[in-house]
């Protein structure tokens, strides 16, 4: 690979969790010249941007294209994908748990406000939690890296929880499909990873059913 | 008994009756005033008035909030199920577990 500043710029942005800037830099690098590093990086950063503006199809296309262009590189790409997907899945599990704490707190506050018949106080509780972006920033310390743009207009924290659960499922599905399509699913660390993802999804399935909410995928 | 003594007797009789009437009226008024100042009358009606005024002033959003608050007290079966599942998730235990893994992976990825 020739020296390409855009790739260094993308790596710097990724390390600082400026994922959108990172994606743009990889795309600029690829516009100039195709490279293994740029395609791998783009696939991975798209995975991180699924909560913002990227879809599972974008990620899948980019991963497949990388394997198609650099077939010998697929094991390396798999390791990168597993590491990043694992990080994201635990991040999502953590967020769902944080939201649970917040929902319980809000419900308690609202119950107290209602019991005391303080109508204005009840309105205050509701408005302080009306925007998901505000809650997310509170929960993650200024929302560094992940602003969860897909849920910025959602008022109900339970809907956001289900949305994050779908992100978790999508991330698991991407890994599963990628390993099946490229005959990598027999590897032990892949099996272990997919088992872990399924356990996490199962632990939240009761929550999903009991909420009785639906969200467009 | 002459006429003057009969007149004096009548005068004192009427005067006493008038005084008794005044005393009774005074006592009645006092009871009314005490009743107005009783804490039951002072505290109970005020919240009712305030609530009515607040309801009139508030927008539909607040009315929606009130509906939500009411639903907390009369929960349908599905909402109870939500609470049961939340207990099963045990968020703080999950966070303890995930925090360690996320921090470790964060080092691998971003350091």
pLDDT digits (tens, 9 = 90+) for A13-25: 999 999 999 999 9
Give the pLDDT band (50/70/90) at residue A72: very high
Which residue among A17, A91, A110 places its CB closest to the CB of B72? A110
Chain B residues with CB under 8 Å of A87 CB are 102, 105-106, 108-109
Residue pair A10/A18 in contact (Cβ under 8 Å)? The answer is no
User: Is residue B54 scored above 70 in pLDDT?
Assistant: no
Which residue among B68, B88, B89 places its CB closest to the CB of A110? B68
Distance in Å, alpha carbon of A38 to nearest chain B alpha carbon = 17
pLDDT by residue (tens digit) across A122-152?
444 444 444 555 555 444 433 446 767 777 6
Q: Determine contact: A214 vs chain B, CB below 8 A.
A: no
The Cα A105–Cα A129 span in angstroms is: 11
Residue A77 dihedral angles phi and psi, to the nearest 5°: -65, -40
Residue pair A80/A40 in contact (Cβ under 8 Å)? The answer is yes
Question: A61 versus A97: which is more confidently predicted?
Answer: A61
- Dmax (CA) of chain A: 70
User: Is residue A195 scored above 50 in pLDDT?
Assistant: yes
Q: Determine contact: B108 vs chain A, CB below 8 A.
A: yes
Q: Residue B105 and residue A120: Cβ atoms within 8 Å?
A: no
Structure tokens at A30: 């690829």
- A203 burial (CB, 10 Å; 0-12 / 13-18 / 19+) is middle
Residue B11 dihedral angles phi and psi, to the nearest 5°: -60, -50
Which residue among A90, A104, A107 places its CB closest to the CB of B98? A90
The Cα B4–Cα A6 span in angstroms is: 130
Distance in Å, alpha carbon of A119 to nearest chain B alpha carbon = 7
User: Is residue A155 scored above 50 in pLDDT?
Assistant: yes
pLDDT by residue (tens digit) across B79-99?
334 444 444 556 777 777 788
Q: What is the ipTM of this complex?
A: 0.71
Q: Residue B109 and residue A84: Cβ atoms within 8 Å?
A: yes
Q: pTM, whole model, 2 decimals?
A: 0.63
Which residue among A14, A114, A210 places its CB closest to the CB of B72? A114
The Cα B81–Cα A90 span in angstroms is: 25
Region of poorest pLDDT, from A98-102, A134-138, A205-209 = A134-138
């Amino acid at each position: 690979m020739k020296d390409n500043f855009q790739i260094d710029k993308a790596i710097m942005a990724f390390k600082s969790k400026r994922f959108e800037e990172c994606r743009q830099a990889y795309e600029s690098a690829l516009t100039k010249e195709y490279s293994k590093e740029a395609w791998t990086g783009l696939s991975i950063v798209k995975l991180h941007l699924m909560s913002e503006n990227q879809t599972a199809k974008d990620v899948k296309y980019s991963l497949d294209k990388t394997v198609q262009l650099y077939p010998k590189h697929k094991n390396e790409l798999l390791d990168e994908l597993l590491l990043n997907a694992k990080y994201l899945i635990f991040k999502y599990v953590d967020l769902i748990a944080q939201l649970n704490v917040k929902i319980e707190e809000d419900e308690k506050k609202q119950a107290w406000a209602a019991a005391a018949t303080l109508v204005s106080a009840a309105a205050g509780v509701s408005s302080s939690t009306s925007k998901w972006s505000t809650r997310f920033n509170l929960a993650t310390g200024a929302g560094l890296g992940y602003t969860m743009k897909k849920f910025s207009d959602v008022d109900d924290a339970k809907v956001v929880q289900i949305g994050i659960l779908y992100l978790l499922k999508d991330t698991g599905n991407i890994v599963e499909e990628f390993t099946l399509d490229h005959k990598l699913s027999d590897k032990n660390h892949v099996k272990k990873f997919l088992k872990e993802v399924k356990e996490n999804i199962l632990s939240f399935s009761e929550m999903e059913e009991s909420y009785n909410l639906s969200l467009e995928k | 008994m002459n006429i003057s003594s009969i007149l004096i007797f009548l005068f004192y009789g009427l005067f006493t009756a008038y005084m008794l009437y005044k005393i009774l009226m005074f006592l009645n008024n006092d009871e009314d005033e005490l009743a107005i100042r009783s804490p039951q009358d002072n505290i109970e009606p005020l919240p009712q008035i305030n609530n009515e005024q607040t309801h009139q002033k508030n927008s539909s959003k607040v009315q929606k909030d009130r509906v939500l608050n009411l639903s907390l007290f009369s929960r349908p079966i599905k909402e109870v199920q939500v609470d049961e599942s939340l207990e099963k998730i045990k968020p703080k235990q999950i966070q303890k577990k995930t925090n360690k893994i996320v921090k470790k992976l964060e080092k691998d990825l971003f350091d």
